[in-house]
Structure 1
């Protein structure tokens, strides 16, 4: 990023650890100019790239961001329970989606899409055999209570698409961009009642998966920015409002609680969403690139390509993005890949393993007829 109003000069990335080699087999260290800045993008735009970054994963990398032994035990128990019971369950066949109007129509160029609903509808289109549960602003049914209730019933997949931070997610009603709706905070996740019925979670929103948040950032931010840290205006966005001082990020809290999710993916930085229909093909641009394409592609690969090991599914999304978008020429496309984080076990079998049916024992009785 160039450090603009809603940009950041640095962000955490796990793709670095998965991208070991370039296309010709040489080691890929993301710092080809050896200046200590990794995956550095040229500024001003148009200059030659400073670091050559492959961005195609060579190994499956995901993160269980546990801080305590109790969290490790919880995750181990959740994963074992999931892989041994999900395939035989009815709850897994439900898919819950949550979305609304992410951006103001004034920037759409004449259209008025509800971006969150468009993206979640596309995801449902890829999953026709799942029972759809739509929590949308246009349906008037999106609230803390309905979110908690529907997750509590259990579901195989859960997809939030809107706005985020390390400590919350929310969206807007169409035309109302001053007030939030569907606000869902980290603190509410401990009240979830879906123990043993955990979905895989995909979240569209800024910073929901920024796993390197820490309370010390509150002090560091103030020391760096002074009182501008708390300022928001047309040219400045104080870092206080990025909430990177949260104890843990939204996506990880969702995974680590006893109910919650079995795994998640989301962004560690500002997200990117196309708006309107600027290519004039009659399809909302929000599902044709950036976060919307990335998120929906996961569902397509899982259900249509039958890629059901979590790390493989996720890495194929990354690889497909490199193949379909100009990640070497357009910094936002590169950032979509670099900011996405997978939280969970990359070897997880999505949907669990089918129990092997026991073969009926064949009993043969041998006898000898009496002789006279």
Structure 2
């Protein structure tokens, strides 16, 4: 709960509740036109608000379809996603929870709220679309009344938004009805009613990840379910292909940019390691070329252009001849591998019309495994701003997330939250920002594993060579990876290889005098071992993106990236590397059990950065001359031990962290010794902390129940400060008065630690 926010400048504040990395979070966004100091007072709940984990995935459907969805639920259980199917009548009749809500849509939303709190639900799939030519539904929908007042030729008073079913809580943790003025219109913004403009309060941050199968009958549903099961069970190398289709967005505008192509180029940059196939209007785009590319196999097909319910269109720069892609072109597809389709274009995701919905048509006819498109008019920026705002910017963020092969709903939810958190909500643009999030509709399973789950293939243990002589020799590393099988070894011989790599197999890749100049190396497979390379970037991007589990990065020199190593998988090992001259050395992003050992981490802005890291081990590394943080950590159950910290700005900074053991470190000559903010129940022992220019160690606000014992604090500017009253014992203090007057030591005079603490048993000599 935010109690008070005080600033010495002009700031804008927005609060929202949402889900990030599976955790329920209160987001506080502060915007300032200039540099300003902000003080925030808040209090944490005494106990977790959400701690149930009975189910992960809730499927809601008409009662008569429950049996048809059972095979999908069984598959999800096999992959560790605890799934429950609930019929609409079971909701309306109160089988599981008390019934609340003014209409069927609100009853479903209240049910989702109860399912979060009682079952631990994180994913929701709504099953059912339009029932008839009338506005009748197999699965209820919600219309949003947002007035963007943006067009003289078409004015859209309302549009469909399933984000309504995802945004369960407001910033105060209360049910978010999207009708706070109780007038029966939902999600209002500048809605003109009886001569007045009215608005509802919504925060738009998803609290669950929501998708919809807009099926209109059992036959349609069964086909889609069969495709999802097949897709997840049988991954294909065709997934690595990305088809980009686009041209210009605005005829005869003053900007010398074909916005669709410019946007797709930016998306391509975010999908490093994939095989990018560009089909642009400037290079003769047509429907035949699109179908040929999709028939060849693709993991993603992205359309950036215009549209109208049932067709997509674009044109070359300032060329009035339009290029169309119709539903009949979708029917002509003969692809045996199903992509994820992403579209921009007015109302391509609208599924409340008598005509077919372009996005759902891809899925329903078995030509795509999932599809994402706008249910509204789809506003995109002009010129180069197309990548900086509105749906274009949201697409860039979404594609970056999907490229990591996470679950589809995770990509959707995280992209929306990241987008909404990066813009000031003022002026005419506010409506466009809101609409970009509200109209982004997933037609598919939110728990879909992008790219499918890895099969347990037989390991061949062959050896392939790159840059050497003899059989099985290649000139490019990626060619060897493509031809290798799980369990193979690739030896890369002396030379410089200018390649972006995508590793989707369990391989051992060993460098022998080899240097890789790259924009990035994406590792999606598990059990990958990389050793012996110089990996150099272009002072941007990420060197190695580790999405798989049990990846080992060993004995490499990695330099000149924004982030040298990004770890999202579990049980990954980073050992004996030299990591230098990057903005961030190693980034742990929600990872479990990462081990960072015996590395030399120097001259970075950040050495190790951890967010929501669980059980990390950072051991026996040398951190020196890192300009800001040597180790910044938000996590739990970790160890930071046996490291040398020298001449960093901050050596160890724990934020919102619990149950760490920090031991046997040498911390010498840094600007700041270890600091703890909102971090409790940690043990700090057997460290030597010497000649740091500010505090030797500092415990800030809400850092309680930490134990600090048997450390040596020697000649720091101030050896310690404790604002929270932690437990100190048996530490050596170079400025302890008992060292000069032994009688005071014999009388057990404690060592005083400003602001609230004492070491009641200080040591008389270093330990």
* TM-score bin (small chain): 0.7 to 0.9
**What whole-Å deviation, never above 9, does each CA across 1:327-367 have from its counterpart, x for those lacking one?**
5751111111111111100010001000135699xxxxxxx
- TM-score, normalised on structure 1? 0.79
Distance 1:193 1:84 in 2: 21
Partner of 2:410: 312
**What whole-Å deviation, never above 9, does each CA across 1:197-250 have from its counterpart, x for those lacking one?**
111111011100001112xxxxxxxxxxxxxxxxxxxxxxxxxxxxxxx1x200
Shift of residue 49 of structure 1? 6.3
Q: Counterparts in 2 of 1:161-176, with a 5 A limit?
A: 161-176=304-319
Residue 290 (structure 2) pairs with residue 147 (structure 1) = yes
User: 113, 116, 128: which is aligned to 2:257?
Assistant: 113
Distance 1:65 1:192 in 2: 21
Partner of 2:322: 180
Residue 165 (structure 2) pairs with residue 22 (structure 1) = no
**What whole-Å deviation, never above 9, does each CA across 1:18-69 have from its counterpart, x for those lacking one?**
111012201100010011111111268xx99620011001111111011121
Partner of 1:217: none
Aligned-pair Cα RMSD in Å: 1.9
Shift of residue 139 of structure 1? 1.4
Partner of 1:190: 331
Q: Is the 8 A contact 2:179 2:186 kept in 1?
A: yes
Q: Is the 8 A contact 2:244 2:279 kept in 1?
A: yes
Partner of 1:8: 156
Tell me, what secondary structure is at the counterpart of 1:148? helix
Partner of 1:271: 378
Segments of 4+ moved more than 4 angstroms: 357-360
Distance 1:122 1:115 in 2: 11
Distance 1:320 1:64 in 2: 25
Residue 208 (structure 2) pairs with residue 59 (structure 1) = yes
Greater gyration radius: 2
Distance 1:170 1:202 in 2: 14
Q: Is the 8 A contact 1:167 1:250 kept in 2?
A: yes
CA 1:208–1:137 in structure 2 vs 1: closer, same or farther (change >3 Å)? same
Shift of residue 190 of structure 1? 1.6
Distance 1:207 1:320 in 2: 23
Q: Is the 8 A contact 1:252 1:343 kept in 2?
A: yes
Residue 40 (structure 2) pairs with residue 40 (structure 1) = no
Q: Is the 8 A contact 2:397 2:419 kept in 1?
A: no
Residue 246 (structure 2) pairs with residue 99 (structure 1) = yes
Partner of 1:241: none
Where structure 1 has 5 or more consecutive residues not aligned to the other structure, the ranges are 215-245, 277-283, 361-372
Shift of residue 105 of structure 1? 4.3
Distance 2:272 2:168 in 1: 37
Higher relative contact order (CA 8 A, sep 6+): 1
Q: Counterparts in 2 of 1:1-372, with a 5 A limit?
A: 1=147, 4-5=151-152, 6-42=154-190, 50-86=199-235, 89-106=236-253, 108=254, 111-140=255-284, 142-177=285-320, 179-181=321-323, 183-195=324-336, 197-214=337-354, 246=355, 248-258=356-366, 260-276=367-383, 284-303=384-403, 306=404, 308-327=406-425, 330-357=430-457
Tell me, what secondary structure is at the counterpart of 2:301? strand
Distance 2:389 2:180 in 1: 28
Partner of 1:364: none
CA 1:328–1:66 in structure 2 vs 1: closer, same or farther (change >3 Å)? farther
Q: Is the 8 A contact 2:343 2:373 kept in 1?
A: yes
**What whole-Å deviation, never above 9, does each CA across 1:280-320 have from its counterpart, x for those lacking one?**
xxxx10001111111111121233xx361001110111111
Where structure 2 has 5 or more consecutive residues not aligned to the other structure, the ranges are 1-146, 461-767
Q: Choose between structure 1 and 2: higher strand proportion.
A: 2
Distance 2:275 2:306 in 1: 25
Distance 1:151 1:274 in 2: 28
Aligned residues: 307
Shift of residue 187 of structure 1? 2.1
**What whole-Å deviation, never above 9, does each CA across 1:159-188 have from its counterpart, x for those lacking one?**
0000011110010111123x311x111122
Q: Choose between structure 1 and 2: higher helix proportion.
A: 1
Shift of residue 326 of structure 1? 3.5
Partner of 2:92: none
**What whole-Å deviation, never above 9, does each CA across 1:139-175 have from its counterpart, x for those lacking one?**
12x1111111111111011100000111100101111
Distance 2:344 2:318 in 1: 20
- TM-score, normalised on structure 2? 0.39
Distance 2:240 2:459 in 1: 27
Q: Is the 8 A contact 1:105 1:113 kept in 2?
A: no
Q: Is the 8 A contact 1:2 1:43 kept in 2?
A: no
